[in-house]
């Protein structure tokens, strides 16, 4: 066994921090993920760089904010010229694998919210759009029988087993595999064949796809195949294991559908719990009561308490399905004798409002429910259970993983290594930045929202470009973020101090790469 550690990095899609047993959820059962936490450090203040899928996943790989790495909002692409920490691992001799959802390129054929020319010319953008294959996650690549061959390395990954989209009808290699395994796959994907149920919540769908063919278990089985193959190899590995659940639609398979009961959940923070909601919240509330509907299936919305409790029960089923898959993978890691030299991590790419203020999904309102996510680091050098209050961010992952592998980070990295905080200490940073950019106007905004938040452990302050209103919450006295102090005269000094700090953070977003090669 090499002295360099392996890395097994689990990541889920749209899972807030408090929806795990080890983070204190009173109903949800996640014994396998909890077991990882019981042998590692649990981060209680881990935040995303951006609370939507694609920008934050790109920040995870690059250690850079969306403004800098270029994948600013869902629907953009991460430039193929971007250096990722996976590139550095591969260059240092690691075998690198991405199994499951990647989402560094668009994986639907849907048009963007803002119109673009059908045939854009080379000078229609501020940058020449040259080089790179940006269609490898496109659904058209997987229509043929057999297996689509990825052009690797794919952002540093030498082995790619792609699962695109969400729910029970995922694309990518999973779709090709399903067509080979299930002669009746078209029937399984026909909405007319969904199983009977009495749920009325948005996007509830009782899938006829059996558990063994469901995407979560595909990711489990392909990971087990990968670990089994690596067990006899001296070469260290980095395995990025990415589940497309518990993202909507809400369709846990088989026994997971009714594993939890809606009546066991509650909407702890109804809309009325917020004392002074900002305009987008009021707009969403009006749309809800006016039957305004959603712009897209991904757009944040409000729902009734009954509907939200149904969503919670189905979400819990999807998370327990993931937990069981994690358990199977961890059993394989131990059976292959790999656990004594493998760092195991668990993370999520962003959260879900999941009932807070009657909200559902994610969007421009950066409440803790979508910006604070679980992060667990279990290291073979010390499996002692610990917790840390250190403020940490998605952008800190590359520096931390590379330091653990004995490698230097590249120029232009904007994160910090948190390895010194694994003993439970909380001295990593005083504050952190969170970005949100939208691809089009929604939630009552007349132009695409540009949102920046600063979190310092005590307060969260948020500005919305072009608007004189904003948000300021005292997380110590108001951890549920129910009382906006933006207009509070007693907090003018706090707002002024944080505004200056935020300005310094924004000034520091200049790309430091490439470095100067000589004096002018």
| Inter-residue contact 354 to 250 (CB < 8 Å) | no
Per-residue confidence (pLDDT) for residue 232, from 0 to 100: 85
Residues facing residue 239 across a β-bridge: 8, 97
Measure the CA–CA gap between 309 and 408, rounded to whole angstroms. Answer: 47
Measure the CA–CA gap between 454 and 472, rounded to whole angstroms. Answer: 10
Cα dihedral value 464, 468, 469, 475, nearest 10: 70
Per-residue pLDDT reduced to its tens digit, 103-162: 999 888 888 877 776 666 667 888 877 788 999 999 999 999 999 999 999 999 999 999
CB atoms within 10 A of CB 275: 9
C-alpha dihedral sign at 353, 355, 359, 365 = negative
Map 199-223 to HEC letters.
Answer: CCCCCECCCCCCHHHCHHHHHHHHH
Residues facing residue 461 across a β-bridge: 454, 472
The CATH number assigned to the domain holding 189 equals: 3.40.720.10
Measure the CA–CA gap between 315 and 309, rounded to whole angstroms. Answer: 10
Q: Which residues of the chain have pLDDT under 50?
A: 1-2
In this structure, is residue 448 part of a structural domain? no
Residues facing residue 452 across a β-bridge: 435, 463
Measure the CA–CA gap between 475 and 239, rounded to whole angstroms. Answer: 36
Residues facing residue 375 across a β-bridge: 43, 347
CA angle 226, 228, 230 (to 5 degrees): 70
Kind plus residue range of the DSSP H or E element containing 506: helix 492-507
Grouping H, G, I as helix, E, B as strand and the rest as coil, residue 284 is helix
Q: What DSSP state is assigned to residue 111?
A: P
| Inter-residue contact 108 to 74 (CB < 8 Å) | no
Measure the CA–CA gap between 159 and 143, rounded to whole angstroms. Answer: 20
Phi, psi (deg, nearest 5) at residue 220 = -60, -50
Per-residue pLDDT reduced to its tens digit, 411-428: 999 999 999 999 999 889
Token pair for 38: 């019981």
| Inter-residue contact 43 to 390 (CB < 8 Å) | yes
| Inter-residue contact 464 to 470 (CB < 8 Å) | yes
| CA neighbor of 167 nearest in space, from 50, 314, 349, 350 | 314
| CA neighbor of 379 nearest in space, from 341, 352, 409 | 341
Per-residue confidence (pLDDT) for residue 1, from 0 to 100: 32
Grouping H, G, I as helix, E, B as strand and the rest as coil, residue 436 is strand
In this structure, is residue 500 part of a structural domain? no
Sheet holding 6-12, edge to edge: 171-172, 159-164, 95-100, 237-242, 6-12, 342-348, 375-378, 41-43, 386-388
Q: Mutual orientation of helices 173-181 and 215-230 as an angle, nearest 10°?
A: 100
Beta pairing class for 6-12 and 342-348:
parallel
Cβ-based neighbours of 126, under 8 Å, separated by 6 or more: none
Map 6-50 to HEC letters.
Answer: EEEEEEECCCCCCCCHHHCCCCCCCHHHHHHHCCCEEECCEECCC
Q: Which domain holds residue 15?
A: 6-109+133-429
In this structure, is residue 506 part of a structural domain? no
CA angle 163, 165, 166 (to 5 degrees): 100
Phi, psi (deg, nearest 5) at residue 414 = -115, 5
Token pair 């993931």 in the structure block, residue: 322
In this structure, is residue 436 part of a structural domain? no
In this structure, is residue 463 part of a structural domain? no
In this structure, is residue 498 part of a structural domain? no
In this structure, is residue 329 part of a structural domain? yes
Q: How many domains are there within the chain?
A: 1
Residue 220 C-beta-side C-alpha neighbours within 13 Å: 20
Per-residue confidence (pLDDT) for residue 120, from 0 to 100: 62
Q: In angstroms, what CA-CA distances link 120 with 81, 113, 115? A: 21, 16, 11
Report H helices in 106-205. Answer: 173-181, 185-188
In this structure, is residue 24 part of a structural domain? yes
Please state, for a pLDDT cut of 90, what percent of the chain lies above it: 91
| Inter-residue contact 63 to 413 (CB < 8 Å) | yes
What is the average pLDDT score of the chain?
95
């Amino acid at each position: 066994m090499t002295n360099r550690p392996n890395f097994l990095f689990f990541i889920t899609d749209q899972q807030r921090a408090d929806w795990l047993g080890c983070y204190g959820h009173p109903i949800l059962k996640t014994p396998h993920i909890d077991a990882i936490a019981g042998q590692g450090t649990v981060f209680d203040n881990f935040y995303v760089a951006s609370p939507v899928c694609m920008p934050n996943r790109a920040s995870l790989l690059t250690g850079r904010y969306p403004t800098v790495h270029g994948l600013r909002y869902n629907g953009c692409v991460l430039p193929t010229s971007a250096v990722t920490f996976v590139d550095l691992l591969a260059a240092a001799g690691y075998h690198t694998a991405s199994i499951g959802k990647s989402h560094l390129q668009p994986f639907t054929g849907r048009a963007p919210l803002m119109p673009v020319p059908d045939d854009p010319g080379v000078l229609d953008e501020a940058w020449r759009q040259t080089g790179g294959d940006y269609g490898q996650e496109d659904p058209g690549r997987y229509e043929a029988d057999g297996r689509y061959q990825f052009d690797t390395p794919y952002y540093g990954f030498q082995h790619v087993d792609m699962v695109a989209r969400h729910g029970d009808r995922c694309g990518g290699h999973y779709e090709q595999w399903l067509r080979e395994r299930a002669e009746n796959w078209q029937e399984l994907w026909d909405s007319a064949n969904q199983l009977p149920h009495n749920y009325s919540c948005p996007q509830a769908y009782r899938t006829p796809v059996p558990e063994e063919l469901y995407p979560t278990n595909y990711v489990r089985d392909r990971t087990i195949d990968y670990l089994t193959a690596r067990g006899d190899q001296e070469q260290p590995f980095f395995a990025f294991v990415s589940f497309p659940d518990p993202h909507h639609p809400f369709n846990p398979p088989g026994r997971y559908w009714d594993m939890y009961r809606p009546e066991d959940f509650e909407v702890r923070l109804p809309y009325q719990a917020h004392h002074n909601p900002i305009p987008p919240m009021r707009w969403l509330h009006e749309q809800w009561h006016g039957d305004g509907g959603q712009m897209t299936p991904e757009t944040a919305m409000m729902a009734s308490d009954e509907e939200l409790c149904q969503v919670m029960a189905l979400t819990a089923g999807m998370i327990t399905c993931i937990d069981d898959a994690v358990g199977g993978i961890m059993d394989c890691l131990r059976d292959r004798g790999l656990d004594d030299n493998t760092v195991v991590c668990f993370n999520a790419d962003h959260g879900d409002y999941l009932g807070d203020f009657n909200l559902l999904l994610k969007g421009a309102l950066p409440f803790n429910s979508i910006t604070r996510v679980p992060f667990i680091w279990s290291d073979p050098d010390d499996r002692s259970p610990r917790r840390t209050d250190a403020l940490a961010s998605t952008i800190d992952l590359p520096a931390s993983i590379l330091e653990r592998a004995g490698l230097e980070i590249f120029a232009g990295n904007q994160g910090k290594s948190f390895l010194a905080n694994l003993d439970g200490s909380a001295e990593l940073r005083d504050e952190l930045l969170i970005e949100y950019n939208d691809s089009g106007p929604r939630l009552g905004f007349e132009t695409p929202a540009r949102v920046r938040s600063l979190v310092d452990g005590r307060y969260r302050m948020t500005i919305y470009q072009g608007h004189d209103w904003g948000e300021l919450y005292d997380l110590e006295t108001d951890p549920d973020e129910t009382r906006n102090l933006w207009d509070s005269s007693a907090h003018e000094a706090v707002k002024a101090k944080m505004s200056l700090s935020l300005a310094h953070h924004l000034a520091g977003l200049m790309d430091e790469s490439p470095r100067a090669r000589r004096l002018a």
